[in-house]
């Protein structure tokens, strides 16, 4: 074969590949065959199912350990986006795991420019240490199909890889304490620049997240680097009233480095095998006890004030916000078979409950108050009621009050719809995830798939989609859900019969309002 003929064959092959991509792009728009989209970041070939096109495992960045991420684009190149990318290394069941984990996923029913559908970008929970949007509960297919929205889910760096604050120990890593936040901001920039090609409207981007995902959103609302990248925010059982201070974060970094070994200095931690970093995540937290806490840091570089202290950060006040919690939060992470609950009686309730309240209040007095106010409750009922109200719900109340005081009220909800597979768990932490995504039958869901579950799910989806579309969670024809104000405290109760109540759980709110709230990690 001559060089000339070889060049010709190469041109022919490239032309054929280009023609194939063009055919896929046309087919994707028509809803035939595999989905394909041409975006500034590349030509992405996904999959199609049930009228929704899915693009999984799209790389949005790369990052060296403990450093800010950098964007990645492959303009003009065909990229197969048909499998999830790896998740951040962690102690947990999700895999495969890799430090190279900056990938996002897109679901869209109309992958074409001009569709201008609102965008719903989800940030997973797991505090700041674990989790992944590859969890089947977070699958975007059903929500994209039902709501005429473009759904995006994002993986990012977690635990020490995303939030180990080394800036005061080594000037080479000034971004280390908020690297995970910077990953999310980079993903939002990718969405701004590319989502129109998938049918999304870059000027109507809603971020929503559960637990740690909601806390990351509350933090981003006050980060100048995130300005203009999202236009509505919804937090689901996830609040961040205050961030970790730099001195406490440095103390935690020292404890973590010590757990890695006396000879492990900064140079070592930057080059050690990632498995060693994950193994050391069980280091003891010098502030809280238990496992070492990782979270956003008031580093005065990327985060320059606390998100909701002493008030709602002015940078986030112009963003419409929804705030939600479940009625029985702590039934998720303090299980009935845990040491704290086995053999629980009135005579040991206060001692068992004290460390789980996470605030400095006389536990015997709390027990006596609950027994007087709720005389039919058991020790188990009081334990979960008090720990939910005093520990998990407080942050949401503070954020809602701060918004109302600033004159930019949020819309507040509470999920009362409880587990159908184990009714003892009630409306536990994470219960709202399958209801919003419509993943009622997915592994890990406890909603059931009956008419009651479908009704509760439709109510949540309709409100979330309306909020993504307009910044107001009141779709046409629905009962009015007012914003939260200090005089009324309107709260949407999501259940088989969803409705608005004013100041639900007032007694519990007022009980715990008499002591300062301590944000975990602060």
Looking at the annotation, which residues are catalytic?
211, 329, 429
DSSP letter (8 states) at residue 425: G
Contacting residues for 262 by C-beta, under 8 A, at least 6 apart = none
Q: How far apart are CA 407 and CA 334, in angstroms?
A: 37
Closest residue by Cα to residue 349 from 328, 326, 377: 377
Task: Look at the block and give the residue holding tokens 């000034």.
Answer: 174
Q: Residue 115: enclosing H or E segment and its boundaries?
A: none
Q: What is the largest CA-CA distance in the chain?
A: 94
CB 149 within 8 A of CB 199: no
Closest residue by Cα to residue 309 from 206, 201, 395, 212: 395
Helices (H), 55-156: 141-147
Q: How far apart are CA 127 and CA 68, in angstroms?
A: 20
What is the chain's alpha carbon radius of gyration, rounded to the nearest angstrom?
A: 24
DSSP letter (8 states) at residue 284: B
Q: How far is CA 444 from CA 46, 388, 434, 437, 489, in A?
A: 26, 22, 9, 13, 33
Provide the 3-class DSSP secondary structure of residue 256.
Answer: helix
Q: How far apart are CA 195 and CA 339, in angstroms?
A: 48
Q: How far apart are CA 150 and CA 117, in angstroms?
A: 6
Tell me the backbone φ, ψ of residue 299, rounded to 5 degrees.
-90, -5
Query: Is the previous residue joined to 96 through a cis bond, with omega within 30 degrees of 0?
Result: yes
Residues in the chain: 522
Residue 145 is encoded by which pair of tokens? 């199909």
Closest residue by Cα to residue 108 from 82, 134, 73, 147: 147
φ/ψ region of 388 (left if φ > 0, alpha if ψ in -120 to 50, else beta) reads: alpha
DSSP letter (8 states) at residue 235: E
Edge to edge, the sheet with strand 78-80 lists: 36-39, 42-45, 78-80
Contacting residues for 302 by C-beta, under 8 A, at least 6 apart = 175, 178, 181, 182, 223, 225
């Amino acid at each position: 074969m001559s060089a000339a003929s070889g060049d010709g064959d190469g041109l022919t092959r490239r032309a054929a590949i280009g023609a194939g991509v063009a055919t896929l792009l046309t087919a994707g728009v028509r809803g035939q065959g595999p989905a394909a989209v041409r975006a500034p970041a590349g030509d992405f070939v996904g999959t199609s199912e049930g009228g929704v096109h899915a693009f999984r495992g799209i790389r949005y960045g790369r990052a060296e350990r403990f450093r800010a991420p950098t964007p990645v684009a492959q303009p003009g190149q065909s990229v197969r986006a048909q499998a999830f990318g790896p998740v951040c290394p962690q102690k947990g069941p999700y895999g495969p795991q890799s430090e190279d984990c900056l990938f996002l996923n897109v679901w869209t029913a109309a992958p074409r420019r001009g569709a201008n559908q609102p965008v719903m970008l989800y940030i997973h929970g797991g505090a700041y240490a674990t989790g992944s949007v590859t969890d089947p509960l977070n699958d975007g297919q059903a929500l994209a199909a039902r709501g005429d929205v473009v759904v995006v889910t994002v993986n990012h760096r977690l635990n020490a890889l995303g939030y180990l604050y080394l800036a005061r120990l080594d000037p080479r890593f000034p971004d280390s304490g908020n690297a995970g936040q910077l990953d999310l901001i980079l993903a939002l920039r990718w969405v701004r620049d590319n989502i129109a090609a998938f049918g999304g409207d870059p000027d109507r981007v809603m971020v929503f997240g559960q637990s740690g995902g909601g806390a990351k959103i509350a933090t981003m609302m006050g980060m100048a680097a995130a300005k203009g990248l999202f236009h509505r925010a919804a937090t689901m059982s996830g609040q961040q009233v205050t961030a970790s201070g730099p001195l406490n974060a440095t103390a935690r970094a020292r404890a973590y480095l010590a757990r890695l070994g006396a000879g492990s200095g900064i140079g070592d931690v930057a080059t050690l095998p990632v498995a060693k970093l994950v193994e050391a995540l069980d280091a003891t937290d010098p502030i809280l006890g238990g496992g070492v806490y990782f979270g956003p840091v008031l580093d005065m570089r990327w985060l320059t004030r606390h998100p909701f202290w002493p008030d709602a950060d002015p940078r986030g006040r112009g963003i419409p916000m929804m705030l939600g919690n479940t009625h029985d939060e702590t039934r998720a992470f303090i299980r009935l078979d845990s040491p704290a609950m086995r053999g629980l009686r009135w005579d040991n309730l206060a001692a068992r409950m004290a460390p789980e309240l996470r605030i400095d209040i006389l536990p015997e007095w709390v027990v006596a108050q609950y027994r007087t106010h709720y005389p039919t409750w058991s020790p188990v009922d009081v334990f979960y009621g008090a720990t939910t109200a005093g520990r998990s719900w407080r942050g949401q109340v503070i954020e809602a009050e701060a918004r109302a005081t600033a004159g930019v009220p949020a819309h507040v909800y509470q999920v009362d719809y409880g587990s159908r597979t184990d009714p003892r768990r009630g409306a536990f932490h994470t219960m709202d995830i399958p209801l919003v995504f419509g993943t009622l039958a997915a592994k890990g869901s406890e909603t059931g798939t009956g008419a009651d579950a479908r009704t509760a799910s439709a109510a949540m989806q309709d409100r979330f989609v309306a909020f993504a579309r307009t910044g107001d969670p009141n779709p046409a024809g629905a009962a009015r859900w007012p914003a939260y104000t200090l005089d009324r405290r309107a709260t949407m109760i999501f259940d088989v019969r969803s409705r608005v109540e004013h100041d639900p759980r007032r007694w519990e709110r007022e009980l715990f309002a008499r002591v300062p709230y301590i944000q975990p990690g602060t």
